[in-house]
Amino acid sequence: MRMVHSLTTPTALRKPATCLETFVSNKNFRRPAALTALAGTALLLSGCGVNSIPAKEETVKARWADVENQYQRRADLIPNLVSTVKGYAAQEKDVLESVTKARASASQVTVDPTKLSDPAQLAAFDQAQGALTQSLGRLLVTVEKYPDLKSNEQFATLMSQLEGTENRIAVARRDYNGSVQDYNTEIRTFPSLITAKVIYGAEPIAPFKATTVNADKAPEVKF
């Protein structure tokens, strides 16, 4: 009797199918269903803050850059302001030197945008800028004693620019704090808080609070 060898591989010797092979060979698989599943996964991840958390963090950094830019704008005005006042009130040496020194000190204090979660860093920046604000306030009070200076066209222009800059600083601080509140709310509420801790290790960002007395109040500019 002739032995007929089966061409079929015994079940025990078959190589286990991979997950990919099983997935591709599944007759129930349909492309639209896969796309729907992918879309659902993307939507789920989006709802968990995977995209919104870093986006909000970048917004905070951008708003902080606006704050620094406006303070720098103010610092850039001071040399011309001091020089103009000096031309009419050279005897006010102490006040002029105070403003100059406060500007130099404020320029040396910077904030690392990657460490905005450190309130001490923001406090140091605010104290330096607050000291400059107070020095400017004393300078403007001194100016009141010099009518000729107040009527000087260049001085008037500088005062107008200073007033506009102080308003911009106030707006920039407000916008920064608003973006911080938005970010902190995102990483502290479900389900984003899970993503914030597990994926990003996110920490709350510090708001910009005035730590120096009247530091958040712009020096009053009068003409």
Say if residue 187's pLDDT is above 70.
Answer: yes
User: What is the pLDDT, as a whole number, of residue 211?
Assistant: 72
Cα–Cα nearest to 100, from 112, 83, 88: 83
- Region 207-213 average pLDDT: 78
User: What is the pLDDT, as a whole number, of residue 23?
Assistant: 40
Lowest pLDDT segment from 41-55, 70-84, 153-167: 41-55
Q: What's the pLDDT tens digit per position in 56-83?
A: 999 999 999 999 999 999 999 999 999 9
Residues 178, 64: contact at Cβ < 8 Å? no
CATH of region 51-200, choose from 3.40.640.10, 1.20.1440.20, 4.10.490.10, 1.10.287.180: 1.20.1440.20
Q: Where are the domains of the chain?
A: 51-200
Structure-block tokens of residue 110: 């910077």
Say if residue 33's pLDDT is above 90.
Answer: no
User: What is the pLDDT, as a whole number, of residue 120?
Assistant: 95
Predicted TM-score (pTM) of the model is 0.76
Residues, the chain: 223
Burial tier of 137 (Cβ tally within 10 Å: 0-12, 13-18, 19+):
middle
